[in-house]
Structure 1
Amino acid sequence: MTSKAQKTRDDGVNAMYAYCLRFFSELKALGVTNAIISPGSRSTPLVLSAKQVGLDVVVHLDERVAAFHALGAAKATRIPSILICSSGTAAANYLPAVVEANHAATPMIICTADRPPELRQWGEGQTINQVGLYGNNVRWHYDLPVASEINESHARSTAFRAWSMSTSRFQGPVHLNWPFRKPLEPTQKLETPEASLSPESSYQEEMPRSSSLISLAKEYERGLITVGPNNLQDKELDALVAFSSDSGWPILADPCSQLRDRGSLSSAPIITSGELLFAEEKFTSLLDQVDVIVHVGLPATSKAYRLWKQETPPTRYVIVSPGVDWADPSHEVTDIIQGSITAAFSEPSSGRGPNSRWCELWTKHNGIALEAVKRHVLENQSELSLASRILSSIPSGTSLMLSNSMIVRDAELVLQNMKSDVKVISNRGANGIDGVISTGIGVSSSSEGRCLILVGDVAAVHDIAGLVAAGRLQSDVVIVVIDNGGGAIFSFLPVAKEIDNDSFEHLFTTPHHTNLIDIASSVGVQSQVIESSLDVEGLLGRAFESKGPSLFLCNTSVEETVKAYEEMRAGFQASFREE
């Protein structure tokens, strides 16, 4: 190669790195703190530049684990993580987490390395069509110019737009596809450019206060506020609690609502037994026509509530600050209030307070239901009893990662009276069971305390790679697996009674017979079987005081799980008294 050709080549490499360094420097200045990467060749300029500017770089062998790690970190902090991977199927492994981030409105900035345009669709190895790979699950996707052929000022604008699109009111993932030409290695020492952006460069101005809810609260006494899974800030939750207390409209609090803590429960009429209440006709028959239901967050977990609302729709159904999806599968919405949740709930409402007949009806029967839950937990050794003891053992400053399927439904019934500084995380945007352990690792990495990951056995098997990552990174996670021998949730569906037992087990329950204890031990995760629910507090207490990952396995069965739910409902019916 001639000296002139070498110089041209070096100039191209230097321009490529100048572009990448500028991009990451500006994102760091805006507030991004970490980059989650998976090893690869084509992504070399991205990886080296992210490390050079001082981002906290976490390496995962598996791109699916990496993506769920980034998801968990963003759910814990509301700040997007940067995902970096090589070209080809590596990028495709991000999709499940991207889907969840879309539906749960979780920020994420995805950087996929790619071949340059002239090599695409011509049989080059590890080359697929990555443009628009994630479809409409991203807020913005952009196929960048070849970085070695454009001025670095373009990198600043790209970083700014990616940040803005990911962190706007409709938070979510963005996808940047980066074509690179070889050589990919730097030819000189990398130096971090001084950023020109700052957190003040991008801000969201709150809309003026809305009088819509105040007017409704003054007009209607029989109101209900439903708060689904969310990632709301403390000031937003405080506004909700204050509005409920002032208006006398009870809050139906999802297990992932951040409102099942002792502080909130003592400040407002918060209902935490909706799954029992709405399934009991003796209770619902006491309710007059509901005037208003106001919904905040993702759709509620409780199936009984959803069925009750569908059968007896309110006069007004109001959704406040909806995301990509509206929580309205029955198509009953009458009002939408856009903008700031704090502003929508910030003004005093009716002044009716929590002592109205309407409000006292809810709180009284919520108390009866909670007593039934308490009796069942104390008198039985069921999955619900196990879940209750596990959840009540969580110390202050801990995060809780709840799996989907049976686990979040167990929590719907038994997650009660939590400590005020425990944040509940869940993947309720798309409700998948994959990536639960990996999401919890991400939560732990971005939180001060440890993270308890409560997961079912099938979901744990789905994320064995997450277990490997926990051992490799020595993450501060306590993983508790409730093993009921397969997909217990299918036993609650009509199909369980419509086909023979052998076919049902083969096609739906699918027991897997995986030895999670041995797998955990082999990858550096301390593991132990919990033989009795009475041992839960002691074993988990010691685990929370330790460092590094640990896994505990609690064995139950599908039959026992179904029986536990039936017995708890029967216990509530037996204790119910009409006035």
Structure 2
Amino acid sequence: MTNESLLTASLVLDHLVAGGAREFFFAPGSRSAPFAYTAAGRDGTDLRAHVRLDERSAAFHALGAARATGTPSAVITTSGTAVGNLLPAVLEADHAEVPLVLLTADRPPELRGTGANQTTRQPGVFGDHVRAAVDVVVPRGLTGAALGADVAEALAPALSALRGDDGVPPGPVHINVALREPLQPALDDLPVSSAGAGRTDTGRADTGRADTGRTGTDGNGAAGSAAGPGWVPSPLDPVHAVDLGPGEAAELAAAAGCLPQHRTVILAGDGAGPAAAEMATALGLPLLAEPSSGARGGETAVGPYRLLLDSATGRSIERVLLIGRPTLSRPVGRLLARTDLRTAAWQPAPVAWYEDGRRQETVLRSLGEVLDFTGRGAPEWLAAWRGLGAQAQRGVDDELDHLIRTAPGFLPGPAVAREVWRACGRDGAALVAGSSNPIRDLDLSAEPGSEGAGNVRVIANRGLAGIDGTVATAAGVSLATEACVRVLLGDLTFLHDAGSLLHLKGEGIPDAQLVVLDDRGGGIFATLEHGELAEEPRWAGTVERFFGTEPEADIAGLCRAYGVPVVEVADLPGLREALSRPIRGTSVVVVAARREGLRDLHARITRRVDALGTGSAG
């Protein structure tokens, strides 16, 4: 490798790998070719390269990989509109504090502003949605140590942000690299690393497609320094908001018996992490945990807690400790807005998802402050929540089972979520939940005490809760960790990202089972105020057109067109049989559902649980 652009690309990748990045997702393009040739030469050694057809999908693949591992992952694009396609993933990574690297190739400065093909104003294109943005422009003729020093200096702010220096919350960084022609190695250049280094997995027999992406490159790669004996997948360790520091678990146990008693609950929002469950257990406090909190399987977790907040027990709460980010329900929002109780948020470090002074919770930085606030729970306080939660869970299950028996031919969303949760508890698959109804269905019907619940790891894009990129996010989770993934999503969410089903020949195939709740449109709107308007004839057409948005698509046929195995189910035995199959390669389960009656189902569940909550608190 002798030319400037290949040398620059190699140096940039060296720095990113040294900073912890391992998964690199490429979209095809000419200006970014130096990164492709360089990565190909070291694929399967100190990094792993994946190729995806479009930039938006590739970005969400990288987002999923970074969110699942807690380490940086990168998406690499050519110049021009390719860069703009990264924005949805950038916004999600910003608010979800995911370390996503946006590595964009650009024209050199002498071509910028001249009307040159595929050239636009890329530096600063993501505004304040990135933690740092750098424009790497190497002066002509720079070589050797001088080139290395120049690149290192240019990259420093982005690498510092990835490390979280100066207390900056994790998040996306933009590295824009100007590259001059030639963009490819000379014909007589040799790749530094031989084909197939570190790749041993030869295929997925049951998908009908060889997983040749895990056997390496075609040997035409170039430059880059090889390192390590072969690829080792990253552990599945999702990004979460709070970790107990060294000795803090012991401090919790020692302090518990000496604290005053308060009617405190711990509210674990998205990404709270296992620390929330450990604290609730140690202090004997009820745990109200969203599915993607990472704490739902805690010993003191309460099932359909959002239905209990207006009960006598819920109204008797004195204090709420928030860990992570609450995003799912209005009852939780009303709880945190109450002026008759005290609220606090445990944030050992600053977070990116709100501005200081914009929320009413008192921010607590140290564990000592947290313990002073929470106190411990009286045995009868926790018992009251556990008993009420168990009764509410039975009430939810009874209503779902009754509907399944009396209205055959389709399955209600919460029942599908319940079965998916239980399946993940049994087989250990990670669970990626789509936004809209699926994550809320899990919140309602995923029983904390069910078999294996403590081992279910839920990942969801709750930074901005968009439906875009869900399929790609799940694929990134699987590819980075080599874990089996089960995805729960609605038909519109699936169709929005159906392009991410496309597997290019020679690329790795994620082990992912997509469970698509096909209710022919936007079911969530039926549960909101729009659903009430839809019952009025003068508004029904408008609501259906603009919110129901029924697609004219054959989901099963679409899957077959992409070469993805698919099965259609409409009853509980069929769903359970599909969920019992080993997850190998990518497959889809299409579940027949309906939007009609969804509003009534939720109303019946609410009425049934309300009838349980009239007693006094413990």
TM-score, normalised to structure 2's length?
Answer: 0.80
Q: Secondary structure at the match of 2:105?
A: strand
2:70 maps to 78
Q: Secondary structure at the match of 1:229?
A: coil
1:281-430 correspondence to structure 2 within 5 Å: 281-285=311-315, 287=316, 290=318, 292-321=319-348, 322-326=350-354, 331-337=359-365, 344=367, 355-381=378-404, 382-394=412-424, 395-416=426-447, 417=450, 418-430=452-464
Deviation for aligned residue 1:174: 0.4
Structure 1 residue 247 displacement after superposition: 2.5
- 1:362-390 C-alpha deviation (Å, 9 max, x unpaired): 22212221121222233222222222122
Do the aligned partners of 2:262 and 2:377 also contact (CA within 8 Å) in 1? no
- Which residue number corresponds to residue 274 of structure 1? 305
2:122 is matched with which residue?
130
Gap change, CA 1:421 and 1:318, over 3 Å in 2:
closer
Query: Offset of 1:536 from its aligned partner?
Result: 1.4
CA positional deviation for 1:477: 0.7
Measured in 2, the distance between the counterparts of 1:209 and 1:474 equals 41
Partners of 1:528 and 1:242 lie apart in 2 by 40
1:253 counterpart residue number: 289
- CA distance 1:154–1:422, change in 2 (3 Å): farther
State the identity as a percent: 27
Distance 1:497 1:94 in 2: 37
Give, in angstroms, the shift of residue 335 of structure 1.
2.8
> How far has the Cα of 1:347 moved from its partner?
9.7
Q: 1:303 to 1:328 in 2, by over 3 A?
A: farther
The answer for unaligned runs of 5 or more in structure 1 is 1-9, 196-203, 338-342
Letter in 2 for 1:399: A
How do 1:100-111 residues align onto structure 2 when only pairs under 5 Å count?
A: 100-111=92-103
- How many residues align? The count is 539
Deviations 1:76-100 (A, max 9, x none): 1111112111000001111101110
Cα RMSD, aligned residues only: 3.2
Q: Distance in 1 between matches of 2:346 and 2:91?
A: 22
What are the Cα deviations for residues 432-473 of structure 1, in whole angstroms up to 9, with x where unaligned? 000101100001112233111111111111111112249974
The answer as to whether partners of 1:245 and 1:353 remain within 8 angstroms in 2 is no
Report the equivalent of 2:14.
25
Q: Relative to 1, partners in 2 of residues 1:217 and 1:155: Cα closer, same or farther, differing over 3 Å? A: farther
TM-score scaled by length of structure 1 = 0.85
- Indicate the larger mover: 93-102 or 186-195: 186-195
User: 1:273 Cα shift?
Assistant: 1.8
SS in 2 for 1:428: coil
| Alignment correspondent of 1:340 | none
CA distance in structure 1 between the partners assigned to 2:337 and 2:306 by the alignment: 15
- Of 397-406 and 120-129, deviating more is 120-129
- Structure 1 residues 41, 408: closer, same or farther in 2, change over 3 A? same
Structure 2: gaps of 5 or more residues: 191-221, 228-242, 405-411
* Farther-moved stretch of structure 1 (129-138 vs 489-498): 489-498
Partner of 1:47: 36
1:527 and 1:552 in contact (8 A); partners too: yes
- Whichever residue aligns with residue 524 of structure 2, its letter is I
Q: 2:88 aligns with which of 96, 101, 108?
A: 96
* Cα contact 1:396–1:420 (8 A) shared by 2: no
Structure-2 separation of matches of 1:313 and 1:331: 16
Matched, 1:564 2:616: no
Q: Do the aligned partners of residues 428 and 468 (structure 1) sit closer, same or farther apart at CA in structure 2, a change above 3 Å counting?
A: same
Residue in structure 2 matched with residue 192 of structure 1 by the alignment: 224
Distance in 1 between residues matched to 2:373 and 2:59, nearest whole Å: 45
Q: Map Cα deviations across residues 196-249 of structure 1 (whole Å, 9 max, x no partner).
A: xxxxxxxx99799799997999356122211111174xxxx2x43343233333
Q: What is the SS of the residue equivalent to 2:421?
A: helix
Q: Is the 8 A contact 1:139 1:174 kept in 2?
A: yes
Distance 1:504 1:329, change over 3 A: farther
In structure 2, do the counterparts of structure 1 residues 194 and 514 end up closer, same or farther at CA, with 3 Å as the change threshold? Answer: closer
Aligned counterparts of 2:101 and 2:375: Cα–Cα separation in 1: 46
Q: Are 1:486 and 2:521 matched, yes or no?
A: yes
Map of 1:6 onto structure 2: none
CA displacement at 1:344 relative to structure 2: 2.8
1:10-65 CA distance string (max 9 Å, x none): 9xx62332222122123223432221000000011122122223421100001111
Q: Of 37, 40, 51, which aligns to 2:26?
A: 37
